[in-house]
Amino acid sequence: MKDGLEAAAAVVAAAAAADPRAGFGRTVQERMAHRLMLNVPSRGNPKVEQLIERINAAEHAVIFPLAMHAICRDGQEVRAMAINEVSLLRQTHQTAKLKILIDGKTRLEELACDGALVCTPAGSTAYNLSAHGSIIPIGAQVLGLTPISAFRPRRWRGALLPHTARVTFEVLEPDKRPVSAVADNVEVRRVARVHVAEDRSQPLVMLFDAGRSLEERVLTEQFAV
């Protein structure tokens, strides 16, 4: 059998994945603790008992991932989910050139850059922050659209979009300037077009120790110096 704490973590993850929408807060926490006790021997195991106590006292956050639909130059289509961000990145020394559409309407005819990304509030403190994007409060129903090392237009710093927005990237001059698309850890090479939208059908429940919620972490990051 796995180490008690490792096995306990696996059971907790399985419990959250099995039914993330069947109620939040104490109900979900109690369900997780119950499954944990059923699947991992807890009597006399202080690590497991401590984890159960932490689950019962935890604060929760519900986040919604991004759905990426990438269409490659050869016609192949790839779909993937991302909790943090979907990013487009140049594959060679050549600057990428992207056309950006929001809900089917062209908003930027040409962005010359190293890349661009769409992030969730949870992912706004990850790659997005390194690219000088805005930090987004967890409760905000907003997505971040951020350029990565923009060359033209130089002064464009990105946009904050309603969470219902559907973002489309079209790769310009794809033969000369190939671009890859990455949904967290899933990479697709030589894309021609990429659609990104929030997927509300896949809510994810995350638990945090009391006083260390995701919301608190995002707020603290905004005052980091």
The pLDDT score that the predictor gives to residue 42 is 55
pLDDT in tens, 12-32: 444 444 454 444 444 555 555
pLDDT in tens, 42-98: 556 777 778 778 888 888 888 899 999 999 999 999 999 999 999 999 999 999 999
Is the domain defined by 66-198 classed in CATH 1.10.260.40? no
Sequence ranges of the domains in the chain? 4-57, 66-198
Q: What pTM value is reported for the model?
A: 0.78
29-35, Cβ contacts within 8 angstroms, sequence gap of 24 or more: 29/55, 29/56, 29/58, 29/60, 29/207, 30/56, 32/207, 35/11
